[in-house]
């Protein structure tokens, strides 16, 4: 106990003197803590601290300088070797293939009949594969704090003036992520029905295979679900409301040859290959983030599959298991062991990955660490600053959305405030007049979607979700990255 207290006091000192970069959102302990351990190794950091508060809100911090140093090092590697990012992506692909093999193996098994030793063994294997994946796949996050400035500096070296829209064009490639693939397939199916090449009954049969391929796309860092052909049928019916010409336009937009756009811009501004190499590097970081998201959705589904079985065996509430770590499901674990941890962690669980060791805190100790971290993000005044992701000025009401449980309270015409956005946020983003996030940079989800939708957006404010409250009226100046509280 004395050793743990000494460690905690030392940890508190480090917290107070360090400038942190924070990531946050709703999640589960068994979803997020293993990726965070892989992330700290990827960044080359000595410490990361993650908390799960009130069984849902996850907040994690890394030393800001470690992010900056990792991003600078990677960019310099790309400038020295134009194949650096391709080699890096190949390593990530190797790790993702290993995870894919795990998915294939266990999706074919009747997990509902597993006993605890079998679940423990499967989780141990998944934990190892997931950790190894995140050790390679976290690089894109290192660019969130200052990637925009880094890219601007590279462009400035060539005395070029490019608009945000033109820079954004270089970030888009011909490669389609899992959501774009699914959307394109749905649009083409709807167009075939509209053009009477398929009946609704025939389309319904095709949706059986569609569901097998994309059943996981509504999964998130917060929860998972399995979409069926019936679910996709409802989406097809909604898509069929759109007329054939609009469907063709949507299809054309997704299938646009981005490489041709890149060549046109390169010719227009006489952009040298050295700068094109930098643009390519950043576009691949964006691709890495999207690939990782698809991988995460499947991984989280498998975690839930195993934990649902644990809940069933021990007659526990599945949602209560949010605070349990996968490694804590051992072959000898008992219901009482798990119940004790659930009760101890209902308010908070903190994990400090520090000096290659891992230590956990809960209760008063956990709250103390959590509070000390948040003191380092103290805000003063009525102005919040961040990075412009898409330009524009608006004034309106704030709505803070920390997770899916809050989605229903968002109204059209409000300003969306979130720690970060993810694919499941898109319906809300389409209704928002502006978007503000704590995290993110030029390759973040919020930045990309705001540019596609033409919505003013400011990312990387660090503190928006802590400072702004539902009903606050603010002015968003996304031309300069400034949010001003009006009332």
Residues 435-457 have pLDDT tens digits of: 999 888 777 888 888 888 889 99
Start-end ranges of CATH 3.50.30.10 in the chain?
383-485
Residue 1 pLDDT level (bands cut at 50, 70, 90): low
pLDDT at 369: 96
Select the more confidently predicted residue: 405 or 127.
127
C-beta separation of 293 from 218 below 8 A: no
Q: Are strands 415-418 and 393-400 parallel, antiparallel or unpaired?
A: parallel
Q: Which residues contact 29 (CB under 8 A, 6 or more apart)?
A: 52, 322, 323, 324, 325, 345, 349, 351
pLDDT at 391: 87
pLDDT at 103: 95
% of the chain at pLDDT higher than 70: 99
Q: What is the pLDDT of residues 153-191, one digit of tens each?
A: 999 999 999 987 898 889 889 999 998 999 999 999 999
pLDDT at 396 over 80: yes
* Alpha carbon distances (Å) from 351 to 12, 36, 47, 245: 13, 10, 10, 53
For range 361-379, the mean pLDDT: 91
pLDDT at 487: 73
What is the CA angle 421-422-427, rounded to 5?
85
pLDDT at 447: 85
pLDDT at 116 over 90: yes
pLDDT at 342 over 90: yes
Distance (Å, rounded) from C-alpha 462 to C-alpha 228? 38
What are the counts of helices (DSSP H) followed by strands (DSSP E) for the chain? Answer: 18, 13
What is the CA angle 279-462-138, rounded to 5?
45
What value does the mean pLDDT of the chain take?
93
pTM comes to 0.89
For range 214-236, the mean pLDDT: 93
Select the more confidently predicted residue: 278 or 148.
278
Q: Are strands 473-477 and 457-459 parallel, antiparallel or unpaired?
A: unpaired
pLDDT at 390: 86
pLDDT at 380: 66
Distance (Å, rounded) from C-alpha 145 to C-alpha 441? 6
Q: Does domain 383-485 have CATH number 3.50.30.10?
A: yes
Q: How many CB atoms lie within 10 A of CB 66?
A: 20
For range 227-255, the mean pLDDT: 94
pLDDT at 7: 87
Residue 53 pLDDT level (bands cut at 50, 70, 90): very high
Q: What is the pLDDT of residues 409-435, one digit of tens each?
A: 999 999 999 988 887 888 899 999 999
Q: What is the pLDDT of residues 272-286, one digit of tens each?
A: 999 999 999 999 999
For range 119-129, the mean pLDDT: 98
Which structure tokens are listed for 473? 């009226």
pLDDT at 364 over 90: yes
């Amino acid at each position: 106990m004395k050793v743990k207290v000494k460690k905690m006091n030392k940890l508190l000192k480090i917290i107070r003197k360090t400038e942190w970069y924070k990531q946050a959102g709703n999640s589960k302990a068994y979803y997020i803590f293993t990726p965070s351990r892989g992330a700290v190794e990827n960044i080359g950091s000595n410490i990361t601290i993650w908390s799960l508060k009130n069984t849902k809100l996850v907040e994690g911090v890394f030393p800001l300088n470690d992010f900056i140093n990792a991003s600078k090092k990677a960019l310099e590697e790309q400038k020295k070797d134009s194949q650096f990012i391709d080699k890096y992506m190949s390593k990530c692909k190797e790790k993702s293939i290993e995870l894919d093999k795990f998915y294939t193996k266990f999706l074919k098994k009747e997990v509902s009949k597993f006993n605890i030793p079998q679940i423990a063994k499967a989780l141990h294997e998944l934990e190892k594969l997931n950790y190894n994946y995140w050790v390679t796949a976290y690089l894109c996050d290192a660019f969130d704090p200052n990637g925009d400035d880094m890219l601007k500096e590279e462009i400035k070296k060539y005395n070029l003036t490019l608009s945000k829209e033109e820079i954004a064009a270089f970030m888009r490639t011909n490669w389609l992520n899992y959501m774009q693939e699914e959307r394109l397939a749905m649009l083409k199916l709807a167009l075939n029905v509209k053009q009477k090449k398929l009946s609704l009954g025939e389309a319904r049969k095709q949706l059986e295979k569609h569901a097998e391929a994309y059943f996981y796309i509504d999964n998130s860092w917060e929860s998972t679900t399995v979409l069926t052909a019936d679910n996709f049928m409802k989406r097809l019916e909604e898509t069929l409301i759109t007329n054939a010409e609009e469907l063709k336009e949507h299809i054309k937009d997704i299938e646009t040859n981005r490489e041709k756009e890149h060549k046109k811009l390169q010719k227009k501004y006489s952009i040298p290959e050295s700068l094109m190499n930098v643009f390519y590097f950043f576009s691949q970081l964006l691709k890495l983030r999207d690939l990782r998201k698809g991988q995460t959705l499947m991984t989280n589904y498998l975690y839930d599959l195993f934990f649902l079985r644990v809940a069933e065996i021990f007659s526990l509430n599945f949602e209560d298991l949010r605070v349990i770590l996968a490694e804590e499901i051992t072959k000898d674990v008992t219901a009482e062991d798990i119940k004790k941890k659930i009760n101890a962690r209902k308010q908070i669980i903190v994990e400090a990955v520090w000096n290659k060791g891992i230590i956990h805190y809960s209760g008063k100790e956990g709250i103390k660490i959590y509070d000390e971290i948040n003191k380092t993000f103290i805000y003063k005044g009525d102005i919040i600053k961040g990075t412009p992701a898409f330009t524009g000025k608006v004034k309106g009401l704030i709505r803070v959305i920390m997770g899916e449980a809050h989605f229903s309270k968002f109204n059209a015409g409000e300003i969306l405030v979130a720690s970060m956005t993810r694919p499941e946020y898109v319906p809300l983003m389409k209704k928002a007049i502006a978007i503000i996030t704590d995290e993110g940079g030029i390759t973040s989800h919020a930045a990309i979607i705001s540019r596609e939708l033409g919505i003013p957006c400011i990312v990387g404010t660090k503190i928006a979700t802590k400072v702004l409250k539902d009903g606050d009226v603010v002015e968003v100046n996304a031309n300069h990255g400034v949010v001003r509280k009006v009332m």
